Structure 1
Amino acid sequence: MSQGPIFPAGDPSGMPGPRIAVRQVSWWIFLVVGILCCLTAIGLMAFPWAPVNLLAFIIGASFIASGASAFLLQRGPAGTIGGLLLVVGGVLSIVFAQFTSAVIINVLGFGLLFMGALGLLIAVRAGGSALVLLPSIATIAAGVVTLVWPTVALTIVAVFIGLVLFAIGVFTIVQAFALRKQPLTITSI
């Protein structure tokens, strides 16, 4: 990132105002982040049955990459704090790999159970037929399978995260080449 000139702001008569800083963001940083996201996604989709520690490492690495992106595009304290939290979360995900995997499975399993139970309650109160009840029952069954067979659930989660991460990587690479033609400048007051 290069620091641009600092322009005094204010009205045209020369009244002083806040100082405006203009920075230009390097396009190649976005290209590197996009390529890393795509490689991570391919790794997740190619080896979804990989050991739990590898999945936690890949998720942690994607959090760290997202945090680095937030730092690049920081717009005040929110971007800095958000980027810092993502980097810290990524490091913690890698350090505590078993815990990270357990959290993913439990959140997914109990979330499916909750959504299925809520859908079942709504369908029963609405006097629904078997076709209305079936999606809720299938969701509850998916929650039970997730909690009983976490390896199967981790494989499905790994593939899903891989697909989403690949889409993010491709989008970031496309944006990097767009920035190469028309550089992104960040203005802060």
Structure 2
Amino acid sequence: MKNIYIILGIVVLVMIGVVWKSNSDRKAREEALAQQTQQHNQKMAQLEAENQARLAQEAKDKAQKEQARIESNKQAKIEQANFDKDHQVVSNQATVEKKAEDDKPDKIKEIENKVKELAFDPDSAKFRNQKGNCGEVNAKNRFGGYTGFKMYIYDDKTDMVTIEDLDKFYDHGMMKILWDARCPN
């Protein structure tokens, strides 16, 4: 029986050893799990911080873009106001020019219409230095460019207009002679 007690003692010791080993393995696994959980939580906190930083940067960029858009709109409004102001000035100048056109004597208007009949683009005709039946006209040619001011003389007797260089006969020299003879100073 002594052998049975010895065997039983050995079995009990082995069982205690197995339980102790199982207990220490469980503690090691719990410590490893706790360490992994801590590492996971740290990684998640780091990811959350990076995500918050990214969102903050996106919000900052969006705010800057919105501010730039607002500034651009302000600049566009200023430019539009300046354009409208300039357009109003041009419109006012056109009104003044139209009024001046309306104030011209009928005879000068009639002569201008005769000159315009000879122009390629009658609406483009611009007049200056108008004295009596004489003056200068600038109008667009077939290429769309202005030809430069040319002298013209209207003859009451023949109801005809002579324009410098129109038919190559009345060059500048010839027109100057006619101008000096027929046009008042």
- Normalised-by-shorter TM-score class: under 0.3
TM, length-normalised to structure 1? 0.19
Higher RCO, Cα 8 Å, sep 6+: 1
> Which structure has the highest helix share of the two?
1
